[in-house]
Homo-oligomer: A and B are copies of this chain.
Amino acid sequence: MTARHGEAPTLESVAARAGVSRATAGRVLAGSPRVSDHARDAVLRAAAELSYVTNRAARSLMTRRSDSIAFVVAEPEERFFADPFFSLVLRGVHAAVAAHDVQLVFAVLTDDAERERFARFARGGHVDGVAFVSLHGADPLPRELQDAGVPVMLQGRPLGTARDEPAPVGYVDADNHGGARAATRLLAEAGRTRIGTVTGPLDMAAAVDRFDGYRCELAALDLTPAAVAHADFSVVGGRRAMHALLDAEPLLDGVVVANDLMALGALQALNERGRRVPDDVALVGFDDIPLAGAAAPPLTTVRQPMAEMGRAIATALLEMVGDRSPRPPLVLPTEIVRRVSA
């Protein structure tokens, strides 16, 4: 379907115009050094004049590459569309991939039918690699694809692999444990002694690690968890959890919330209960989504480098397409962003 009325410039026509063979024209366009300057000039000029565009289908057929990678959100509840976190990872992946002239195929696997469809698609070699974001539990799909020979990278350590263990499939993660420790320490250093937490869904490693970090740091400070509530990384979940925390421990003076969306909900709950932030209760979020700075009061949070994670994932994937070697896990540092809430 090459534009207006089958005018389709092909490599053949470029070669003809340049007065060389198709093979030579192909060599020039592929950037081979084994071409005379004369031929190279002629081919490049002809290609420009015809505004020739390589037919990727034909190329794929020969190279058995698709020059595209998939960005997959394996999130049954479509959380993707509510949490800016995903957009930001996507941005990073997109940036890296665009720089390599590779296309990004986007997929959300909400139900089993879609999972199956995608698995077939990927196993059929229609993408050169797959980036998975937001895995729950011990999802077998990434491993399956990897075993089928498709390069795979994960955002976030898969559940079932310990933090210091070699992983069966490559991943890029943020230092969730360290970030949560830093958040907890920040509250303690501000003199808070009754520190609670709102965790994320514990079928995700990120939530588990942040929870562990919180407990670990409290223990190091000779404190005990004042109250713990579990939620699902959503605003309403955070609000509900904050209410539960206040019910369980009325004297609460600090909270580590496992992501910003929940922290927004927590802020709302604290407001409803008449607690001032940070005067009565100090709050630290996690992620540093764009909205965090616009909250009332602006949220102190643990920044995780979402776009960079995306970039790292895409870069690793692109390399794996070439050499097919597995990548060691990459854990990027987090950083406290101090605003008003703590």
Judge whether A87 is part of the interface by a CB distance below 8 angstroms. Answer: yes
Report whether A55 and B61 are in contact in the complex, using a CB–CB cutoff of 8 Å. Answer: yes
Judge whether A84 is part of the interface by a CB distance below 8 angstroms. Answer: yes
Report whether A55 and B3 are in contact in the complex, using a CB–CB cutoff of 8 Å. Answer: no
Interface residues of A in 263-279 (CB under 8 A from B): 264-265, 267-268, 271-272
Q: How many copies does the complex hold?
A: 2
Report whether B148 and A55 are in contact in the complex, using a CB–CB cutoff of 8 Å. Answer: no
A121–B53 alpha-carbon span in the complex (Å):
8
Interface residues of A in 85-120 (CB under 8 A from B): 86-88, 90-91, 94, 98, 101, 103-108, 114, 117, 120
Cβ-neighbour of A81 out of B54, B84, B105 (below 8 A): B84
Judge whether A71 is part of the interface by a CB distance below 8 angstroms. Answer: yes
A55–B58 alpha-carbon span in the complex (Å):
12
Q: How far is the CB of A320 from chain B (nearest CB, A)?
A: 12
A5–B124 alpha-carbon span in the complex (Å):
13
Judge whether A128 is part of the interface by a CB distance below 8 angstroms. Answer: yes
| Among listed A34-42, A62-70, A167-175, A184-192, interface-contacting one | A62-70
- Chain B residue nearest in CB terms to A94: B108
Q: How far is the CB of A12 from chain B (nearest CB, A)?
A: 14
Report whether B107 and A3 are in contact in the complex, using a CB–CB cutoff of 8 Å. Answer: no
- Chain B residue nearest in CB terms to A123: B3
Judge whether A333 is part of the interface by a CB distance below 8 angstroms. Answer: no
| Among listed A198-206, A213-221, A242-250, A290-298, interface-contacting one | A290-298
Known A-B contacts A81-B90, A294-B268, A296-B296; A3 and B117 likewise in contact (beta carbons under 8 Å): no
Report whether B104 and A91 are in contact in the complex, using a CB–CB cutoff of 8 Å. Answer: no
- Chain B residue nearest in CB terms to A108: B94
Report whether A91 and B66 are in contact in the complex, using a CB–CB cutoff of 8 Å. Answer: no
Report whether A106 and B104 are in contact in the complex, using a CB–CB cutoff of 8 Å. Answer: yes
Most B-side CB within 10 Å, residue of A58, A64, A87: A87
* 0 or 1 for each of A41-67: is its CB under 8 Å from B? (1 = yes): 000000000010111111011001110
Judge whether A239 is part of the interface by a CB distance below 8 angstroms. Answer: yes
Judge whether A319 is part of the interface by a CB distance below 8 angstroms. Answer: no
The residues of B that contact A64 with a CB separation of less than 8 Å are: 1-2
Judge whether A126 is part of the interface by a CB distance below 8 angstroms. Answer: yes
* 0 or 1 for each of A287-308: is its CB under 8 Å from B? (1 = yes): 0001100111000000000000
Judge whether A162 is part of the interface by a CB distance below 8 angstroms. Answer: no
Most B-side CB within 10 Å, residue of A53, A105, A126, A271: A126
Where the two chains meet, the residues of A that have a C-beta atom closer than 8 Å to any C-beta of B are 1-5, 8, 51, 53-58, 60-61, 64-66, 68, 71, 78, 80-82, 84, 86-88, 90-91, 94, 98, 101, 103-108, 114, 117, 120-121, 123-126, 128, 148-150, 235-236, 239, 264-265, 267-268, 271-272, 290-291, 294-296
Question: 26 A-B pairs, CB-CB below 8 angstroms?
Answer: A1-B64, A3-B124, A3-B148, A3-B149, A4-B148, A4-B149, A8-B125, A53-B120, A53-B124, A55-B61, A61-B61, A68-B105, A81-B87, A81-B88, A82-B290, A94-B107, A94-B108, A98-B107, A98-B117, A103-B107, A103-B121, A104-B107, A235-B291, A236-B294, A267-B296, A296-B296
